């Protein structure tokens, strides 16, 4: 038996160690399954994205028409389009829950795992934003104009960078082609970072609800945790089918059903729902550069959590830490709601107050 094991390829050893023999704490529950579901969603997004890219035309006058062509003329194009569209929103729902679980159970004590996860979030946001521009609808065009123009807030070189991103003096065909190339490449870069994230996790091991070092109470990944993951993936797949056939476009802005028109500005320009919390913080600060800095910090600030050495146990069993966490989660939801409303009283005032509390709670969590 030993001689047979020695003849195995090193890659087989790696797969066996990561997917079969990986020891995990016996006390972890279904709350630890979000990572595997996110991996499944990523595979769906990669497959559907590659097929859609083969029918997409990145020319500015044909982009919107090519999306209509995919929906109407390509075999099962309507299904691939809606799965890819809703998959992005569902990806962010689960990744926010995944981060929330890490914050509540103090998973951020693993510095390398948490830091690589923060990089994944940042790359994912960039990938999703670029993908939102590609259909070249009204909100896609104006969202790209507003968000890319934020780079001009950088002193001295901001305007030069913006013109380089645009390929001219406004969002145009060159912008769309560059965004299409980036949206094609970034998912593969994202996959590479996710592999690093998984390797870091499997080297250090998963934490548990108690937040204790329980090396003496671990069981193999297969078949105890793999079956749990499989059940969750099946449930998610059924949920995805339900969204696809019943509420196909509930996560899409109605304004994006109109082709891009540079001469007609929408009444209320806003990004997709998963960016609304950062968008609300951005517009709550009167200074443009200050708003951009606050937007970036609102996403990257979670990277400081591993350096809070005082939290040695799970925050779930600490009343004050749990109080901070749930209040912070409520602030996140309120900011998302504020970002979907126009910049006027009382939404503007509420947004400024909630933005202040957002940073205070995250620093003290």
Could you read off the pLDDT of 115-126 as tens digits, one per residue? 899 999 999 999
Answer yes or no: do 259 and 283 share one domain: no
Sheet strands (E) in 202-283: 218-220
Answer yes or no: do 228 and 331 share one domain: no
Answer yes or no: do 132 and 252 share one domain: yes
Tokens for 357? 């509390």
At residue 128, the pLDDT reads 92
Answer yes or no: do 307 and 232 share one domain: no
Is the residue at 17 inside a domain?
A: no
Can you give the CATH number for the domain in which 251 is found? 1.20.810.10
Q: What is the DSSP string of 71-91?
A: HHTSTTHHHHHHHHHHHHHHH
Q: Which residues neighbour 278 within 8 Å (Cβ) at sequence distance 6 or greater?
A: 295, 298, 299, 339
Answer yes or no: do 54 and 190 share one domain: yes
Is the residue at 2 inside a domain?
A: no
Could you read off the pLDDT of 301-337 as tens digits, one per residue? 888 888 765 554 566 667 777 787 888 889 999 999 9
Answer yes or no: do 264 and 235 share one domain: yes
For the ranges 34-38, 106-110, 128-132, 162-166, which has the lowest average pLDDT?
A: 106-110
Whether residue 47 is predicted with pLDDT greater than 90 in this model: the reply is: yes
Could you read off the pLDDT of 87-103 as tens digits, one per residue? 888 899 999 999 988 88
- Reply yes or no on whether 115 is catalytic: no
Catalytic residue (one of 98, 109, 197, 202): 202
Answer yes or no: do 100 and 236 share one domain: yes
Is the residue at 213 inside a domain?
A: no
Answer yes or no: do 106 and 72 share one domain: yes
Answer yes or no: do 265 and 277 share one domain: no
At residue 317, the pLDDT reads 67
- Say if residues 78 and 52 touch (Cβ distance below 8 Å): no
Can you give the CATH number for the domain in which 318 is found? 1.10.287
Is the residue at 19 inside a domain?
A: no
- Reply yes or no on whether 272 is catalytic: yes
- Mean pLDDT, to the nearest integer, of 73-77? 90
At residue 17, the pLDDT reads 54
Residue span of the structural domain in which 92 resides:
31-208+220-269
Nearest of 365, 286, 295, 284 to residue 330 by alpha carbon: 365
Q: Which residues neighbour 233 within 8 Å (Cβ) at sequence distance 6 or greater?
A: 36, 37, 40
Could you read off the pLDDT of 217-259 as tens digits, one per residue? 677 776 777 777 788 888 888 888 888 778 878 878 888 888 9
Answer yes or no: do 227 and 348 share one domain: no
Is the residue at 89 inside a domain?
A: yes
Of 249, 269, 289, the last residue of a domain is 269
Of 229, 253, 269, the last residue of a domain is 269
Tokens for 219? 């069981």
- Mean pLDDT, to the nearest integer, of 33-38? 85
- Reply yes or no on whether 163 is catalytic: no
Report how far Cα 160 is from the mean position of its chain's Cα atoms. Answer: 29
Is the residue at 22 inside a domain?
A: no
Whether residue 81 is predicted with pLDDT greater than 70 in this model: the reply is: yes
Catalytic residue (one of 66, 110, 229, 253): 229
Is the residue at 53 inside a domain?
A: yes
- C-alpha to C-alpha distances, 57 to 54, 60, 69, 77, 341, nearest whole angstrom: 9, 8, 10, 15, 33
Catalytic residue (one of 55, 69, 228, 288): 228
- Reply yes or no on whether 206 is catalytic: yes
Catalytic residue (one of 106, 107, 116, 206): 206
Answer yes or no: do 256 and 156 share one domain: yes
Q: pTM above 0.95?
A: no
- Say if residues 194 and 39 touch (Cβ distance below 8 Å): yes
Of 269, 290, 305, the last residue of a domain is 269
- Reply yes or no on whether 217 is catalytic: no
Domain tally, the chain? 2
Answer yes or no: do 63 and 182 share one domain: yes
């Amino acid at each position: 038996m030993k001689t047979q094991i020695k003849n195995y390829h090193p890659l087989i050893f790696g797969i066996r160690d990561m997917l079969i023999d990986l020891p995990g704490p016996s006390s972890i529950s279904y709350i630890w399954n979000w990572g595997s579901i996110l991996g499944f969603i990523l595979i769906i997004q990669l497959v559907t994205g590659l097929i859609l890219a083969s029918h997409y035309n990145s020319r500015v006058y044909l982009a919107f028409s090519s999306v209509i062509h995919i929906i109407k003329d390509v075999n099962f194009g309507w299904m691939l389009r809606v799965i890819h569209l809703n998959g992005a929103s569902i990806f962010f729902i689960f990744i926010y829950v995944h981060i929330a679980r890490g914050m509540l159970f103090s998973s951020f004590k693993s510095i390398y795992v948490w830091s690589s996860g923060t990089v994944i979030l940042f790359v994912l946001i960039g990938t999703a934003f670029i993908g939102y521009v590609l259909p070249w609808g009204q909100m896609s065009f104006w969202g790209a104009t507003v968000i890319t123009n934020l780079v001009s807030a950088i002193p001295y070189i901001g305007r030069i960078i913006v013109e380089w991103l645009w390929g001219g003096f406004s969002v145009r065909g060159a912008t769309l082609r560059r965004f299409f190339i980036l949206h094609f490449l970034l998912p593969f870069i994202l996959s590479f970072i996710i592999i690093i994230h998984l390797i870091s996790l499997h080297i250090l091991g998963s934490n548990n609800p108690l937040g204790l070092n329980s090396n003496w109470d671990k069981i193999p990944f297969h078949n105890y945790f793999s079956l749990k993951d499989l059940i969750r993936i099946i449930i998610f797949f059924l949920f995805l089918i339900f969204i696809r056939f019943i509420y196909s476009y509930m996560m899409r802005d109605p304004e994006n059903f109109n082709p891009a028109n540079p001469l007609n500005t929408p009444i209320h320009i806003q990004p997709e729902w998963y960016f609304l919390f950062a968008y609300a913080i951005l517009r709550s600060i009167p200074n443009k550069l200050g708003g951009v800095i606050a937007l970036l910090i609102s996403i990257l600030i979670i990277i400081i959590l591993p350096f809070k050495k005082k939290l040695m146990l799970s925050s779930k069993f600490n009343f004050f830490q749990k109080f901070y966490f749930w209040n912070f989660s409520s602030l996140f939801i309120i900011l998302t709601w504020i970002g979907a409303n126009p910049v006027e009283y009382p939404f503007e005032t509420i947004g400024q107050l909630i933005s202040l509390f957002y940073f205070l709670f995250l620093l003290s969590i």
